Structure 1
Amino acid sequence: MKILSVITGIGYGHTIRQAAILDELKKQGAEIIIASYGNSFHFFEHVYHTLEIDGSQISEKKFEFKLFKTLFMNLKLPYYYFKNYFKLRRLIKAFNPDIILSDFEPLPLLMSKKTPHFLFFNFDPELYKEYLRQGHKKYFFQSKYISWIYKRARKISAPIVIPTFEKASSNEVTYVNPIVRPLPERSQKDLLEKLKLSKPPILIMFGGSHFSTNLLYKIQEILPQINEKFIIFTYKLSGESYKNVTFLSFKENFLEYLKASKAIITQAGHSTLSESIILKKPSLIFPIPNYLEHAVNSYWAKKKKIAVVKNPKYLTEEALLKIIQNFINSLPDMEKNLSNLNVKPNGAEQAASLIIEKYKSLKQELDK
């Protein structure tokens, strides 16, 4: 079984999701090639045969998603798509994949239409409808762009696979449980000993973008005033550990630290939120303003009372200190709510099974 996976290179969430699915397919003997850019390319280039393509950029110098600035930064995107089209066409011709996976990269949906495709993304149209019914912001252009990609997938009969915490009833998408990396088997006590931690820390992890830089500078200034141990996982931002604060670069065993922790301060990305929920860790969430995915994820987490959600714009250090202290005081209630959630961590296995079933049915048709 030959698999071509084309993955967006913005952030790390899409990359982590595909890594979990591809690991399951590799166990079944799949031959895998990746096409990507940015964070995803650097993550996979030493793991699988990987083709570097050009990709889109987002405005991320400040803690806010700015649509029109992002559009301006991507004026060359049509040219990049033109280049990528021929790169991918040559790759598809040489590799002849049995299945093409796309993790929110639309170009593959326009190519090799006779080859079965799968589209992966975590935008749930049914949850978005519920979100709108509550009177929240519509994000017109972002939702239209996602709708266009979903319509394109349906046009070529590509299943739209959505990892979710709570499955809705829909004939237009295929739901699977959250797609996460393999979870640590050791207990929290054993992990604390292994990681040489005296007590469960609070993790601070803002993912694979620069959105959080300004906020993180403010947070680290107030942490010495709080009687807790903090570990900050950084992205292209170095810091010197001091008092009750430890800086670490991204680690492959991040989930060991998460399981050993008591809570996490993070953004509203689907992958980190999924891992936090499955490991029953309360979250203090600072969603990226004006970013649809984060708005909907935050809405669900707040509705379930498993996270505290705060707008990161214009926060003073005094306000941040109060927010974090109140978050710590509310941990017992959120832990209780998390314990009542029945969310299984087998989304990667479910997604891989869908792909394998499609391959087997295709092979049976060819053998007739």
Structure 2
Amino acid sequence: MRLITLDDITDTYFKIVQRGWKFIFSKFTTNNENRTKSAFSNTSFISSYCWSIPKVNERWNYLITGDKNNNYIDFLTNDFLSHKKGLKLLSLGSGTCNREIDLAEHTSIFKEIVCIDIAQNLLDIAAKNAKDKKLDNITFLAQNIDLMTFKDNEFDIVFFKSSLHHFDNIPTFLTQKIRKTLKPDGLLIINEFVGATRLQFKKHQIQAINNAITIIPKKFRTRYKSNFRKNRYQGAGLLRMIIADPSECIDSENIMPTIHNNFKTIIEKPYGGNLIMSALRDISHHFFELNEEKEEILNTIFSLEDSYLEKYPSDFVFGIYQNIN
């Protein structure tokens, strides 16, 4: 593992530029919970991550649902769960609950949705959105999930939306908490980063990411809110990962092995992200609106990633798994 890299220094600088000194100072605490909260506290910050790019979302939609215009929520509500009634769903690490609110609008399918997150400010946003939509089948609870106990056989579905990779000791968490609170035939549904723990990518992945960066012309490599150019990806250092957010990808490598050992796979759709996430970070804003040149650049990067995925497992997975008695 890499303790510190050049990217740690440059990324810290750009965090100051994009989020301000207050965000950086929030990291100087020995309280892991407070550092984790600070990572999700700035709701006004508009990131420049790849998932903000419409064409990337279209790619992921296609790889998950077979239709670039239908996301995984559309698939769940219009297809997979459309014949179900009165379901009770638990969402852990739900954030602003955008997807959970989308699910709750299908009142014939979902009798109750319970959203739990450590960040009260995000749940306040969610509660307002739910109230605006006049939804009464969704509730919000601010709690440290690690300290909670759950009733046995309570939920039909446990849902993780880019949050499972923030939990430590995945084997114990999934077997002792999640399996027990699921009904015997209940479903675990994930849309998750399942790649390298603490983002400690192997050398071959870092090289492939840099190959993708070199495809992008220099004029499209100026970083968000700066005049500095992104020229190379060095990888994340372990020290910065722990300081910035102690929960980030803390045991992500164990997600898929644990699920496969303890649940029955119903649907599993890998959709990559191995190159796209890191290559386009901080320069994604160039690709929000496309012309012919930009579209060709993205298509070339997508092809590179497809070739990479022929040899290596996907960093992101959408999956539906059934509890095993």
- TM-score, normalization by structure 2: 0.36
Highest CA radius of gyration, 1 or 2?
1
TM-score under structure 1 length normalisation: 0.32
- Which fold has the larger relative contact order, with Cα–Cα distance below 8 Å and residues 6 or more apart in sequence? 2
